[in-house]
Chains A and B, each alone.
Chain A
Amino acid sequence: EDQVTQSPEALRLQEGESSSLNCSYTVSGLRGLFWYRQDPGKGPEFLFTLYSAGEEKEKERLKATLTKKESFLHITAPKPEDSATYLCAVQAWYGQNFVFGPGTRLSVLP
């Protein structure tokens, strides 16, 4: 069974304090790993897709990396507006469903 775990559950950072969020997964044949950002009461916003181990993607202060067992979302010099829940999801080649992790709730304090 495909599984996704995320750590930490919650993270509080000071503005400018860089850190990383972890997404660990087990899937038989990874088709894609996806990162989303979700603000309270809203739909998730697509950030990145990673396809193969060693791949990296960047967007503003965010950088996502992928290994065979986990993905990291690095946040460099975060700002209060980066506060949100960050969700990780995987899709296997043999199925179309996304399996989402529970998310990491990030708070960036000014």
Chain B
Amino acid sequence: EAGVTQSPTHLIKTRGQQATLRCSPISGHTSVYWYQQALGLGLQFLLWYDEGEERNRGNFPPRFSGRQFPNYSSELNVNALELEDSALYLCASSFESVSSYNEQFFGPGTRLTVL
């Protein structure tokens, strides 16, 4: 069974540009989570999408946005890039159910470098 996939693996942008990151969840998973992991720091929650809707967002500015498509894949957009946006961006997927425990499974990440 294929795991969570992310593209691209690496992305280099300059300050002020826009970046688009993509994620395909595990088959059957309806929820996608996005996290930012800056060098040497922990995972910071960015966004949660479930069934095509944004369910929650972390403490990040509005220039971080995204969407989830009907096939449950997702993309993260970062506008007006700043140097401090350089980080590993991780996507995770899970099967959401109020009656079950929903482990999140992570993709390999996209390394975004802002110059």
Q: Which A residues form the contact surface with B (CB < 8 A)?
A: 31-32, 34, 36, 41-46, 49, 51, 87, 89, 91, 95-103
Which of B48, B56, B109 is close to A42, meaning CB atoms less than 8 Å apart? B109
- For chain B, the bracket of interface size reads 20 to 34
Given contact pairs A32-B101, A96-B48, A96-B55, A101 touches B42 in the complex (Cβ within 8 A): yes
B64 within 8 A of A: no
CA distance A100 to B108 in the complex (A): 17
B84 within 8 A of A: no
Q: B111 to chain A: closest CB distance in Å?
A: 7
What is the chain B residue whose CB lies nearest that of A4?
B42
Q: Which of B43, B50, B108 has the most CB of A within 10 A?
A: B43
Which of A41, A87, A97, A101 is close to B109, meaning CB atoms less than 8 Å apart? A41
Question: Are B43 and A100 closer than 8 Å at their CB atoms?
Answer: yes
Q: Chain B 12-33 against A: per-residue CB contact (8 Å), 1 yes, 0 no?
A: 0000000000000000000101
Given contact pairs A96-B55, A96-B96, A100-B42, A42 touches B103 in the complex (Cβ within 8 A): no
B residues less than 8 Å from A87 (CB atoms): 42-43
Q: Which of A32, A44, A95, A100 has the most CB of B within 10 A?
A: A44
Which of B41, B42, B103, B107 is close to A43, meaning CB atoms less than 8 Å apart? B107
B72 within 8 A of A: no
Which of A31, A51, A98, A103 is close to B45, meaning CB atoms less than 8 Å apart? A98
Q: A59 to chain B: closest CB distance in Å?
A: 14
Given contact pairs A43-B109, A45-B106, A97 touches B48 in the complex (Cβ within 8 A): yes
B104 within 8 A of A: yes
Q: B47 to chain A: closest CB distance in Å?
A: 10
Q: Chain B 26-61 against A: per-residue CB contact (8 Å), 1 yes, 0 no?
A: 000001010100000111010010100001101000
Q: B8 to chain A: closest CB distance in Å?
A: 14
What is the chain A residue whose CB lies nearest that of B4?
A43
Question: Are A44 and B56 closer than 8 Å at their CB atoms?
Answer: no
CA distance A99 to B104 in the complex (A): 12
